[in-house]
Structure formats: structure tokens, C-alpha cells
A and B are shown apart, each in its own frame.
Chain A
Amino acid sequence: MRDWILPLLVGAATGVLSGFGVGGGTLLLVYMTAFAGVEQRLAQGINLLYFLPAGLMALPAHVKNGCIEKRVLLPAIGGGLVCAALSAWAASAMEVGLLRKCFGAFLIAVGGMELFGRSKGPEQGDSGGS
């Protein structure tokens, strides 16, 4: 039973972050790989699958709030799909130990940016105008 309750709660907590648009999936990956002992590649697959309902549930609210920047969508999704396809392919061919080390370096980089990075430009603020 405990095998179920904890993942459910963690998924719900990170789901809130995923709904906000940042960090939920990264955090869930850290939980699965560093705490729950899920194998790296399986954790990655679960995380991808997990974001589908989490993101879909949050999306209508974002649309309703008028927070989606539509002109970003087409180029960003286009570029993203190509790169995602190539790198997903690479990940499935890569040796897991190496994948894990790359992942670790990625986390440290993103974590450092969150801690020490300083966002310039429009800070916080509810989408100006509305």
C-alpha cells in the first residue's frame, strides 16, 4: 500500500508545479531516481507520461487566464519537436550510467541557475495590462 500512497502524494505535489509550468517534472525525476530507487530510464519514461495528464489538466486554466503567449507556440513547438525526437532516440540508445551522469550535470546546472540566477527584464507581475 505504501508503494502506492507515497508516489500518489508526490505526484500530486509535483503536479501542482507542473501545472504552474515549471519544475514539476524535474522534481519528480529527482524523487524517483534519488529517493524511490526507480531506474533512470524508466523514471524518465514515467515522467514523460505523467506530464500528459498533469499539463492537460492545467492548460484550460492558463488559456482562460489569457496567459498563453500564442506567437511563441509555433516556432518553439516546431523546434522542440525536432530536438525532442532526436534526443529521445539518443537517450534510448545511450548507456544508462552515462545518461545518469548527464542528468546529474543538468540538474546541478539548472539548480544553480535557480539559486543564483537573477532574472532581468519584467520581474514577476501579473501579465502586464490585464
Chain B
Amino acid sequence: MQGKKGRYLLAGGLAGIANGLFGGGGGSVLVPLLTRYCGLDQRRAFATSVAVILPLCALSVGIYLFRGGLDVMTALPYLIGGTAGGWAGGKWFKGVKILWLKRAFGLLLIYGGVRSFL
């Protein structure tokens, strides 16, 4: 039991690093860790990551605001869209097949990654 707790802590810590440093990607780190390293089944790992990431985002956004400010007008449409999307995501969660999403997701990430170097 003790060992498991340490694993959760480490997984959360790594997600926190991504969250603070890149302003996102915590879930992309946390879910694979929860499934492969902590032995959770996929569906629980996904849902649990939402609950873990939320407080991290709140803290990080506070620090970003405090350290540099944030252009809320640019953010607004994303916030409104995200509110609707998040609600739908929770609602559809039970029926969704996760696997096909992962392929498209991986390709897009690599594209974005390469772009960051150009």
C-alpha cells in the first residue's frame, strides 16, 4: 500500500511539472502513468486525471497571473468553447472508444512538436 502511494505521488508530481512548465499536458503525462505504472484501468485513469489536474491548473494559473498577467479577451472564446466541450465530454464519456482518438492525437502532437523547433 505504501509503495502505491509513492507511485501516485510521483505520477502527480510529473503531471504537475508539465502543468506548470507548459501550461498543460498534465493529463497526457498522468493517464499513461496511472495505467502503466500504477495499474489503474484506462477508464478510471482518464476520469481520475480530470480530478487531479483541476487543482494543479488553478494553482498554476494563479502563478501565471501573478507573474505576468493574462490577456482575458484572447482567452474568452476558448473558455466558452471549453465549457460546452467539457460538459459534453463528461456526458459522452461512458460511450466513447478511446483507441482511435489516440492515433490522431499522437500525429498532431508530433506535428506541433516539430513546429516548435522551426
Contact = CB atoms under 8 A, between A and B. Distances in A.
Contacts of B83: 15, 53-54, 57
Given A11-B82, A51-B82, 13 more contacts: A7-B81, A19-B87, A19-B89, A28-B82, A52-B61, A56-B86, A67-B48, A72-B12, A75-B9, A79-B13, A85-B63, A91-B20, A126-B43
Chain A interface helix/strand/loop/mixed: helix
Interface residues of A, number: 107
B57 A124 contact: no
Report which residue of B6, B14, B16 has the largest number of chain A beta carbons within 10 angstroms of its beta carbon: B16
Interface in A46-99: 46-62, 65, 67-69, 71-73, 75-93, 99
Interface of B: 4-6, 8-32, 34-36, 38-61, 63-65, 67-68, 70-72, 74-75, 77-94, 96, 98-99, 101-103, 105-117
Interface in A19-64: 19-30, 32-34, 38, 41-62
B90 A60 contact: yes
